[in-house]
Structure 1
Amino acid sequence: MNLHALRLFHVIASTGSVTRASEQLHISQPAITAQIKKFEKELGFPLLKPEGRGVALTDAGEELALLAKRLFAVEQQIEQFTHDYRSGTTGAIRLAATYLPAHFLLPAWLARFKRQYEQVDMTITTTNAGDALAKLVNVEVDIAIFGGIAEEYSEAIHKEELFQDELWFVVAPLHRYTGRQVTLDEMMQEPFVMREEGSSTRERLMSLCRTYSAALPKISLQFNGLHEAIQAVIAGYGANFVSSLVVRDYVERGELARVYVEGIHLTNSIGICTRKGEPLSPSAANFIQMMKGMP
């Protein structure tokens, strides 16, 4: 079917006049009339009939006009969709985030993004660093937002750091090490309350001990959530090694206290991972750009 001719017929049917269609399309009336006659010949039935000084639609023309109206309405929807998708105002983003950004950073980031891009669908999975990066490599998510990074995926992912955050040893305020400076070996004599294996801070603590040939920490209590682990330490049991973003307020309120370990000053990288060599959707690129601009 000649879609150009169908579009000419659609404009005639919409405006009710070959003259108005000619003015709207900037095509001469004889050219439009010739195209319509050729189109009618192709279809095998007339679409227009004389009426007074103008034309009217035949019964077949009325039916075709309705179908053409739907067709070109869908065309407009497709054009709008492609425009919105290219600009990132529509689409879908699948995120995997470790506990730290998921609970302390993402809520504000997501609220700001959704205010600007309401039509973008977002799915967020909170998990540990290893699982977040595994989901990224397995194409289960589009972006992984992490605190720390698992090295085994370094060849498959692109890492971009947003900022760095300190890692602290913390205990209950009445602990004998509160506010003191101790050796790493002394600190490792304490029972630790930590998240499950695969947690980036737990892996950092193990790596720290191996680097300094210290005894590995005894994980006496293990929780799937960091909040539960922190609450156990606040209640008076053991120590935790954790991002300052998580516990800074607790320390300022006097619910937790820092322990300073000699010669140890570690930072945690808060960053974004994407699949190396794979282009991002416009909406995902917009979200990453927004995160980079957040204070």
Structure 2
Amino acid sequence: MDIDRIRYFNVFAETGSLVRASEVLHISQPALSKALKQLESELGMKLIEPEGRGLKLTASGLALRAETKGLLTQWLQVGEKVRRKEIAEPTRIGTFEVFSTYFLKHLANTVDFKNLELFELRPGKMEDALLKNEIDIGITYLPIPKAGLDLTEVTKVKMAVYGRKELLNKSLNELPFVVPLDPVEGAPTKVTGLDGWPDHKIPRKISYRVTLMESALELCRRGHAVAYLPSFVVDAHNEMLLAEYRLHEIQSPIPVKDRLQPVYLVHKTNNEDSKLHRQIAKALRAI
């Protein structure tokens, strides 16, 4: 069977229309119709039949779709899989959104990436990915203990409350915080928020909850909110902005020593002394 005809057939089956299928495939409707008739002739069975003003799959067509859909996906991925094997094995790092965004420039200075796969994972999911061999190493400051994994504390990063200049003189009770939407579960500390704020000790006014911290940064840039963020993230963030949108440190009730957040590398037990581990540790110490 011609693979293109099978692909055309599956696109028609998905769209249910010769017109829409021809648009998706970027071929003319007559050419598509001819290819489908050739497939029917090749197989010796009717695959499509009229239904009102349109067309539908016959019982044989439905059976062919069920049999070929998965095989077609595998076939279309063959080229990509071969190309991937021709280049270096990927370096697979798990970290979390925003930290990874602003840490990448430091990472690129110490790790020679020929093929990088960066997985932005929340605590718990990162550890699971390590145990499943989906990533090689994880970077976190809210580790979730799991059997078979070890932690290495590499450095500490300063955390602080940041917002627009006009919010500098407001009290903690007045500050509208934006925080990560998903809570942390299973952390050995009482911290439950992905930003690491000790809500169990110091209540705050939470006005916004977001999944992506880049959305939190946008709220901060516009003066709608403040956020508890790593200082190196804000420093890198401010380098790219006009002065009016830059974020400033706001006085925090958290003692300075408690705002030094440990950063850990998470790795499989007895797998600490690897070249990748040493390179990432060097990059983390540079932030």
Q: Which runs of 5+ in 2 are unaligned?
A: 1-86
- In the alignment, the residues of structure 2 paired with residue 231 and residue 202 of structure 1 have an alpha-carbon distance, to the nearest angstrom, of 23
Q: Does 1:164 align with 2:153?
A: no
CA contact (8 A) 1:130 1:198 kept: no
Secondary structure of the corresponding residue to residue 133 of structure 1: helix
User: Corresponding residue for 1:98?
Assistant: 96
- Partner residue of 2:261 out of 258, 268, 278: 268
- In the alignment, the residues of structure 1 paired with residue 213 and residue 253 of structure 2 have an alpha-carbon distance, to the nearest angstrom, of 25
Per the TM alignment, residue 137 of structure 1 is displaced from its structure 2 partner at its CA by: 3.1
Q: Does 1:242 align with 2:240?
A: no
- Partner residue of 1:122 out of 116, 126, 136: 116
CA contact (8 A) 2:177 2:205 kept: yes
Computing the radius of gyration over CA atoms, which structure comes out larger, 1 or 2? 1
User: Corresponding residue for 1:208?
Assistant: 198
What is the 5 A alignment of 1:118-197? 118=114, 121-146=115-140, 148-150=141-143, 152-153=144-145, 155-175=147-167, 178=168, 180=169, 186-197=171-182
- In the alignment, the residues of structure 1 paired with residue 180 and residue 118 of structure 2 have an alpha-carbon distance, to the nearest angstrom, of 20
Q: What's the TM-score, normalizing by structure 1?
A: 0.53
Residues 241 and 122 of structure 1, relative CA distance in 2, 3 Å threshold: same
- In the alignment, the residues of structure 1 paired with residue 231 and residue 282 of structure 2 have an alpha-carbon distance, to the nearest angstrom, of 21
RMSD value, Cα: 3.3
- In the alignment, the residues of structure 2 paired with residue 194 and residue 262 of structure 1 have an alpha-carbon distance, to the nearest angstrom, of 17
Percent of aligned pairs with the same residue? 12
- In the alignment, the residues of structure 2 paired with residue 263 and residue 98 of structure 1 have an alpha-carbon distance, to the nearest angstrom, of 23
User: Corresponding residue for 1:288?
Assistant: 277
CA contact (8 A) 2:99 2:233 kept: no
Q: Which runs of 5+ in 1 are unaligned?
A: 1-88
Could you give the per-residue CA deviations for residues 18-74 of structure 1, whole angstroms, max 9, x where no partner exists? xxxxxxxxxxxxxxxxxxxxxxxxxxxxxxxxxxxxxxxxxxxxxxxxxxxxxxxxx
Q: What's the TM-score, normalizing by structure 2?
A: 0.54
Q: Kindly tell me the number of residue pairs found equivalent between the two proteins.
A: 187
CA contact (8 A) 1:129 1:198 kept: no
Per the TM alignment, residue 174 of structure 1 is displaced from its structure 2 partner at its CA by: 1.0
Per the TM alignment, residue 232 of structure 1 is displaced from its structure 2 partner at its CA by: 0.6
Per the TM alignment, residue 155 of structure 1 is displaced from its structure 2 partner at its CA by: 4.6
Per the TM alignment, residue 267 of structure 1 is displaced from its structure 2 partner at its CA by: 1.5
